[in-house]
Amino acid sequence: MTAPAPLPSMFGRFSAILKDHDHLGKTLKRLRKMCATLEIGELQLSPELFPEPLFDELYADLSAHFASEESSEYFGTVMDEAPSLVPQIAALESEHRRLLRTVEQLVDFAQDRARWSALPIPTRDLVVELERHERAESTLLRELFFPRV
Protein backbone atom coordinates (compact mmCIF):
# COMPACT_ATOMS: atom_id res chain seq x y z
CA MET A 1 0.00 0.00 0.00
CA THR A 2 1.39 3.40 -0.91
CA ALA A 3 1.29 6.33 1.46
CA PRO A 4 -0.99 9.19 0.46
CA ALA A 5 0.78 12.13 -1.10
CA PRO A 6 1.39 14.90 1.42
CA LEU A 7 -0.71 18.01 1.09
CA PRO A 8 1.05 20.96 -0.44
CA SER A 9 2.89 22.95 2.19
CA MET A 10 0.55 25.91 1.70
CA PHE A 11 -2.33 23.83 3.04
CA GLY A 12 -0.23 22.75 6.00
CA ARG A 13 0.44 26.36 6.90
CA PHE A 14 -3.25 27.23 6.59
CA SER A 15 -4.11 24.25 8.81
CA ALA A 16 -1.65 25.44 11.46
CA ILE A 17 -3.30 28.87 11.46
CA LEU A 18 -6.71 27.24 11.87
CA LYS A 19 -5.38 25.35 14.91
CA ASP A 20 -4.29 28.70 16.36
CA HIS A 21 -7.83 29.97 15.81
CA ASP A 22 -9.16 26.98 17.76
CA HIS A 23 -6.77 27.68 20.66
CA LEU A 24 -7.71 31.37 20.62
CA GLY A 25 -11.37 30.36 20.72
CA LYS A 26 -10.73 28.55 24.00
CA THR A 27 -9.00 31.61 25.43
CA LEU A 28 -11.91 33.81 24.34
CA LYS A 29 -14.29 31.42 26.10
CA ARG A 30 -12.30 31.89 29.32
CA LEU A 31 -12.42 35.67 28.83
CA ARG A 32 -16.21 35.51 28.47
CA LYS A 33 -16.42 33.44 31.65
CA MET A 34 -14.20 35.96 33.45
CA CYS A 35 -16.51 38.75 32.30
CA ALA A 36 -19.65 36.92 33.42
CA THR A 37 -18.11 36.26 36.83
CA LEU A 38 -17.03 39.87 37.28
CA GLU A 39 -20.40 41.16 36.06
CA ILE A 40 -22.20 39.42 38.92
CA GLY A 41 -19.85 41.17 41.33
CA GLU A 42 -17.67 38.17 42.11
CA LEU A 43 -14.07 39.26 42.55
CA GLN A 44 -12.87 35.92 43.92
CA LEU A 45 -11.94 34.37 40.59
CA SER A 46 -10.54 30.92 40.01
CA PRO A 47 -6.87 31.08 38.94
CA GLU A 48 -7.64 30.29 35.25
CA LEU A 49 -9.84 33.42 35.17
CA PHE A 50 -7.40 35.89 36.78
CA PRO A 51 -7.38 38.84 34.38
CA GLU A 52 -3.68 39.69 34.31
CA PRO A 53 -2.32 36.22 33.39
CA LEU A 54 -5.27 35.65 31.07
CA PHE A 55 -4.55 38.85 29.16
CA ASP A 56 -0.81 38.08 29.22
CA GLU A 57 -1.59 34.69 27.65
CA LEU A 58 -3.89 36.30 25.09
CA TYR A 59 -1.19 38.83 24.17
CA ALA A 60 1.46 36.13 23.73
CA ASP A 61 -0.89 33.93 21.70
CA LEU A 62 -2.08 36.77 19.48
CA SER A 63 1.47 38.06 18.93
CA ALA A 64 2.63 34.64 17.75
CA HIS A 65 -0.55 34.05 15.75
CA PHE A 66 -0.41 37.41 13.99
CA ALA A 67 3.31 36.97 13.24
CA SER A 68 2.51 33.61 11.61
CA GLU A 69 -0.25 35.14 9.53
CA GLU A 70 1.91 38.05 8.43
CA SER A 71 4.75 35.77 7.37
CA SER A 72 5.75 35.30 3.77
CA GLU A 73 4.52 31.71 4.08
CA TYR A 74 0.95 32.77 4.87
CA PHE A 75 -0.16 36.27 3.82
CA GLY A 76 2.82 36.35 1.47
CA THR A 77 1.51 33.25 -0.28
CA VAL A 78 -1.96 34.77 -0.49
CA MET A 79 -0.52 37.96 -2.03
CA ASP A 80 1.50 35.94 -4.55
CA GLU A 81 -1.51 33.87 -5.55
CA ALA A 82 -4.10 36.68 -5.50
CA PRO A 83 -2.60 40.18 -5.74
CA SER A 84 -6.11 41.63 -5.74
CA LEU A 85 -6.33 40.69 -2.05
CA VAL A 86 -3.37 42.90 -1.02
CA PRO A 87 -5.62 45.77 0.26
CA GLN A 88 -7.56 43.34 2.46
CA ILE A 89 -4.34 41.88 3.82
CA ALA A 90 -3.02 45.36 4.61
CA ALA A 91 -6.24 46.12 6.50
CA LEU A 92 -5.95 42.86 8.47
CA GLU A 93 -2.33 43.60 9.37
CA SER A 94 -3.33 47.06 10.58
CA GLU A 95 -6.02 45.46 12.71
CA HIS A 96 -3.41 43.13 14.19
CA ARG A 97 -1.48 46.11 15.54
CA ARG A 98 -4.63 47.78 16.87
CA LEU A 99 -5.86 44.59 18.56
CA LEU A 100 -2.49 44.03 20.23
CA ARG A 101 -2.49 47.62 21.56
CA THR A 102 -5.95 47.00 23.02
CA VAL A 103 -4.74 43.84 24.77
CA GLU A 104 -1.72 45.74 26.11
CA GLN A 105 -4.08 48.33 27.62
CA LEU A 106 -6.17 45.57 29.20
CA VAL A 107 -3.02 43.94 30.64
CA ASP A 108 -2.15 47.26 32.31
CA PHE A 109 -5.73 47.72 33.51
CA ALA A 110 -5.89 44.16 34.91
CA GLN A 111 -2.87 44.73 37.16
CA ASP A 112 -5.06 46.77 39.53
CA ARG A 113 -7.50 44.41 41.28
CA ALA A 114 -9.66 47.41 42.27
CA ARG A 115 -10.36 47.99 38.55
CA TRP A 116 -11.39 44.42 37.71
CA SER A 117 -15.08 45.26 37.92
CA ALA A 118 -14.61 47.62 34.96
CA LEU A 119 -12.97 44.95 32.75
CA PRO A 120 -16.07 43.23 31.28
CA ILE A 121 -17.15 45.97 28.86
CA PRO A 122 -13.78 46.54 27.12
CA THR A 123 -13.05 42.81 27.25
CA ARG A 124 -16.36 41.90 25.60
CA ASP A 125 -15.72 44.61 22.99
CA LEU A 126 -12.31 43.04 22.30
CA VAL A 127 -13.79 39.55 21.98
CA VAL A 128 -16.35 40.84 19.46
CA GLU A 129 -13.55 42.54 17.48
CA LEU A 130 -11.40 39.40 17.49
CA GLU A 131 -14.32 37.28 16.28
CA ARG A 132 -15.13 39.81 13.54
CA HIS A 133 -11.45 39.85 12.57
CA GLU A 134 -11.37 36.05 12.35
CA ARG A 135 -14.42 36.13 10.05
CA ALA A 136 -12.64 38.69 7.85
CA GLU A 137 -9.64 36.36 7.61
CA SER A 138 -11.94 33.47 6.69
CA THR A 139 -13.50 35.62 3.99
CA LEU A 140 -10.02 36.38 2.65
CA LEU A 141 -9.22 32.68 2.37
CA ARG A 142 -12.57 31.99 0.73
CA GLU A 143 -11.76 34.65 -1.86
CA LEU A 144 -8.36 33.04 -2.43
CA PHE A 145 -9.75 29.55 -2.95
CA PHE A 146 -13.06 30.52 -4.56
CA PRO A 147 -12.44 33.80 -6.41
CA ARG A 148 -15.37 35.71 -7.74
CA VAL A 149 -15.55 35.57 -11.47
pLDDT digits (tens, 9 = 90+) for 109-119: 999 999 999 99
**CB 78 within 8 Å of CB 140:** yes
Q: Comparing 131 with 22, which gets the higher pLDDT?
A: 131
Question: What is the rounded end-to-end Cα distance, in angstroms, of the chain?
Answer: 40
Q: Mean pLDDT across the stretch 9-24?
A: 58
pLDDT digits (tens, 9 = 90+) for 69-95: 998 888 998 999 999 999 999 999 999
d(CA 10, CA 14): 6
Identify the sign of the CA torsion 47, 48, 50, 52.
positive
pLDDT digits (tens, 9 = 90+) for 26-43: 899 999 999 999 999 988
pLDDT digits (tens, 9 = 90+) for 4-14: 444 345 555 55
CA angle (100 as vertex; 98, 102 as ends), nearest 5: 70
Q: Coil, strand, or helix at residue 98? A: helix
pTM of the model: 0.84
Give the model's pLDDT for residue 1.
Answer: 45
Cα radius of gyration rounded to whole Å, the chain: 18
